[in-house]
Amino acid sequence: MRIHGLTLLALVGCQAPGPAVHPGAPPAAAMASVAPATDTGGSAAGDLGPVQGAPIEAALTSPPVVPPPTGRKVPAKVVVNLEVRELTLPISTGVDYTFWTFGGTVPGSFIRVRQGDTLEFHLRNHPDSKMPHNIDLHAVTGPGGGAASSFTAPGHESRFTFKALNQGIFVYHCATAPVGMHVANGMYGLILVEPPEGLRRVDREFYVMQGDFYTVGKYREKGLQPFDMQKAIDEHATYVLLNGSEGALVGDNALKARVGETVRIFFGNGGPNLVSSFHVIGEIFDRVYAEGGTRYQENVQTTLVPAGGATIVEFRLEVPGTYLLVDHSIFRTFNKGALGMLKVEGAENKGIYSGKEVDSVYIADKAESDEAIATAAEGLKAGTLTTEQQIEAGGKLYAGTCSACHQAEGQGLPSVFPPLAKSDFLMADKARSIGIVLNGLSGKVTVNGADFNSVMPPMSQLNDDEVANILTFVRNRFGNTGEAVSAAEVKAVRSQTPRPPGAAH
Amino acid sequence: MSALVLAWLLAAPAPVVVGPGVYRPLFPADPALATVPVAAFRLDVTPVTEAGFAAFVAAHPRWRRDRVPGIFADAGYLRHWASAEGPGAGARPDAPVVNVSWFAARAYCQARGARLPVEAEWELAAQAGDHGPVGRDEPGWTQRILDWYARPAALPGPVGQRPPNHWRVQDLHGLVWEWVEDFNQAAAAGDRDAARFCGAGSVSSTDKDDYVQFMRVAFRSALAGASTASSLGFRCAEEALP
């Protein structure tokens, strides 16, 4: 009996009784007769006969790694063992979040099978889990996508079997009530059903998945951050991330490839709410299998990936450097974390690209290691923060947030951006400098005898400790010497500044 | 039994009266039952503790983990105990007992002359806030419960550390999940109505925003009578005194 209740609670997709045919739609036979010769035949052609050989245990991989091609020519029985873990992991530097995961990672383990395979799916829920979980695989043909059959209490295991009838790249996710919360906590991943002949050969394959996250504290507010249900309902994401963490695909964790190689990215979007405008800065997708479908579009700049959907992109690398994976709904990249890197090594080709690196404008504070920032955050929390730690962290933040205008050595740009180096204006008034960072500045100012009449936008998205570290850095570098700025001082200035509703924080 | 444990058991507060009141099930078995009147009953102030359950097992050895039949308790039953006799010297006697099956919880309450609360009773008690019989409109009430759901399960701390609610009951949220007599009620409501399966918000639920109740219904419906979990305990109920 309880199985029925599970379906009820699983809140899976709508399965209307009877055939869902639009009024006036041509009968199926007529449709078939006009279908192109290359039609794969869909699920009707997906049963490639009985399973052959001994069962195979699926090789599951953690992102960004993709399992190798199956290389099989006949249908197999594939056993999938997937374990649900509830884990507290970093979501950003100094910020932890309790993720619910398939296989211990966000996104969950990548599953790769061949069309016509029969999957024996074992879903285990770790004994230390607090919640029941299940799985709805979009690759399943059958009500609920497996959700009802896999509803699993902590410490238990459930099993179901399905035949992968349709080829393509599919999202899987948890569909336990409340579904939105389970998905928002990271319970999604991808399953690839290869066409019978396999995918075209490429040099490298990567697994990247976007998701939006909702925390009680604001973006980068330190400590363990609980899930915020109201923000999730309102669709006000605190973070939009690739592979579940701000650091997942940057710095040492960047994807790596070489000039001359063709790469394929399986890009999924777990949601729960936001649709992704997936783009790689500096590249053009040679082929996009839009929505994970069978046919490809060529020469695409940006492709839309719906929540609960996925796509396959392929492109050849001609020029070395760092390419940025972003959601081109671009505030998500610069203010919510939706950024990854593909680092490409190899010989320059000046005939294709002159080679000037403009990474600093784009990469912001993600280019460098966040270790110094984390050290300062821990020091602040423990009450042991030193001025040197603030300067170290502030330097990293400066490179990302400030250097595009004020320049790497604080020299500014004559008549456009005022200098911070040996700046009389900066050093004259500490409280004023805090206010300018938080609230911006427009209009005429005189710095070191030169007039500037420009606009600096408010940087109120920065946390109090980040502003304090940046100001401590600029007040003690570039030929300046001054006392440190504390987070408490920033907080005091921020609290005195009224902002209209809707302004950042 | 140590003197400490005995003293603690004797100090456990008597059950308190909850109700009468009205409970709104998330998935009514029948549209006519959108609200369920609940008669007054008595409910334990806190969940049953390790000490309490150890005393029960000592008196009823057939509920030892090495003797209980598999149909009454799965392999996780009392797995956190140091031995079949009890939780061990290192464990807190005042922590709620977990890893107990529905059959075992029922037997405990019966041995005491009590019973498990039914879902409507438990939910009536649990919907109370700090200041009144319905807490969901009190500031921060829902988020406080969700925060607990969002923390990974660790063995729980002692009972009785949270402020009593409107009915003077403690620990209904934030410590452990709890068994109820009719835990599979929502599941048993069944699949009569295909519309229940449809869409992202379950059209048949009475309150789509009551996420905290959603979580409990989801949890209960994942269970079978022999199930155990490291975050699942129970408390007992009794009839109201005449």
CATH of B3-239, one of 3.30.9.10, 3.90.79.10, 3.90.1580.10, 3.40.309.10: 3.90.1580.10
Q: Is the pLDDT of residue A422 over 80?
A: yes
- CA A38/CA A294 separation, integer angstroms: 10
Domain limits, chain B = 3-239
State the average pLDDT over residues A16-21: 39
Q: pLDDT per residue over A362-395, tens digit each?
A: 555 554 556 778 788 888 888 889 999 999 989 9
User: How many whole angstroms separate alpha carbon A348 and alpha carbon B230?
Assistant: 58
pLDDT in tens, A105-149: 999 999 999 999 999 999 999 988 888 899 999 999 888 777 777
Contact B152 A130 (CB under 8 A): yes
Contact B187 A5 (CB under 8 A): yes
- Written as one letter, the residue type at B66 is D
Is residue B82's pLDDT more than 90? yes
Please, which pLDDT band fits residue B217 given cuts at 50, 70 and 90?
confident
**A484-488, B47-51, B219-223, B231-235 — which is least confidently predicted?**
B219-223
- A443 pLDDT band, cuts 50/70/90, is confident
Q: Is residue B84's pLDDT more than 70?
A: yes
pLDDT at A362: 54
Q: Over 70: is that where the pLDDT of A12 sits?
A: no
State the pLDDT at residue A23: 43
Q: Tell me the average pLDDT across A238-254.
A: 94
CB contact under 8 Å between B222 and A127, yes or no, is no
Q: Is A208 on the interface with B (CB under 8 A)?
A: no
The answer to pTM > 0.95 is: no
Using a CB-CB cut-off of 8 Å, the residues of chain B touching A217 are: none
- Top pLDDT among A361 and A189 is at A189
Q: Which of A11, A17, A152 has its CB closest to that of B222?
A: A152
Statement: residue A189 has pLDDT above 70: yes
Q: What is the pLDDT of residue A9?
A: 39
Q: What is the pLDDT of residue B97?
A: 96
Please state the rounded mean pLDDT for residues A428-450: 91
Measured CA to CA, the distance from residue A103 to residue A112 in angstroms comes to 15
B191 interface with A at CB cutoff 8 Å: yes
Residue B81's pLDDT is what?
95
- Fill in the amino acid letter for A183: V
Comparing A3-12, A428-437, B68-77, which segment has the lowest mean pLDDT? Answer: A3-12
Q: Considering chain B, what is the average pLDDT of its residues?
A: 84
The pLDDT tens digits of the residues spanning A69-112 come to 999 999 999 999 999 999 999 999 889 999 999 999 999 999 99
Q: Taking CB atoms and an 8 Å cutoff, what residues of chain B touch A4?
A: 187, 190-191
Q: What is the pLDDT of residue A22?
A: 44
A158 to chain B, any CB pair closer than 8 A? The answer is: no
Contact A266, A305 (CB under 8 A): no
| Confidence label for B191 from pLDDT (cuts 50, 70 and 90) | very low
* Residues A11, B190: C-beta atoms closer than 8 Å: no
pLDDT given for residue B207 in this prediction: 58
Flag whether pLDDT at A16 surpasses 70. no
The residues that bridge with A240 in the sheet, in sequence order, are: A212
Cβ atoms < 10 Å from Cβ of A8: 25
Question: Does A227 touch chain B if contact means CB atoms closer than 8 Å?
Answer: yes
pLDDT tens sequence across A140-186: 988 877 777 778 888 889 899 999 999 999 999 998 888 899 999 99
- Asked if A14 is an interface residue toward chain B (Cβ–Cβ < 8 A), one would say yes
Q: Which pLDDT belongs to residue A97? A: 95
Subunit contact B151:A130, Cβ cutoff 8 A:
yes
Mean pLDDT in residue range A240-251: 94
CA distance B217 to B22: 18
Q: Do A86 and B153 touch (CB under 8 A)?
A: yes
Q: Which of A9, A154, A177 sits opposite B230 (nearest CB)?
A: A154
Contacts of B146 in chain A (CB under 8 A): 181, 226-227, 229
Q: Which residues contact B163 (CB under 8 A, 6 or more apart)?
A: B130, B170
User: pLDDT, tens digit, for every residue of A292-346?
Assistant: 999 999 999 999 999 999 999 999 999 999 899 999 999 999 889 999 999 999 9
Select from A15, A151, A226 the Cβ nearest to the Cβ of B222: A151
**Average pLDDT rounded to a whole number, residues B61-79:** 95
The residue type found at A376 is: A
Residue B188 has pLDDT above 50, yes or no: no
Q: What b/e sequence results for B145-158 when a residue is b if at least 16 CB atoms lie within 10 Å of its CB, and e otherwise?
A: bbbbbbebbebbeb
Give B3 to chain A, closest Cα distance, Å: 32
A194, two tokens: 């290869």
Vertex A470: Cα angle to A464 and A474 (nearest 5): 145
Can you tell me the distance from the alpha carbon of B113 to that of B42, in angstroms, rounded to the nearest whole number?
Answer: 13
Instruction: Work out how many CB contacts closer than 8 A connect A with B.
Output: 149
Residues in chain B within 8 Å Cβ distance of A88: 152
Lowest mean pLDDT among A360-374, A444-458, B92-106: A360-374
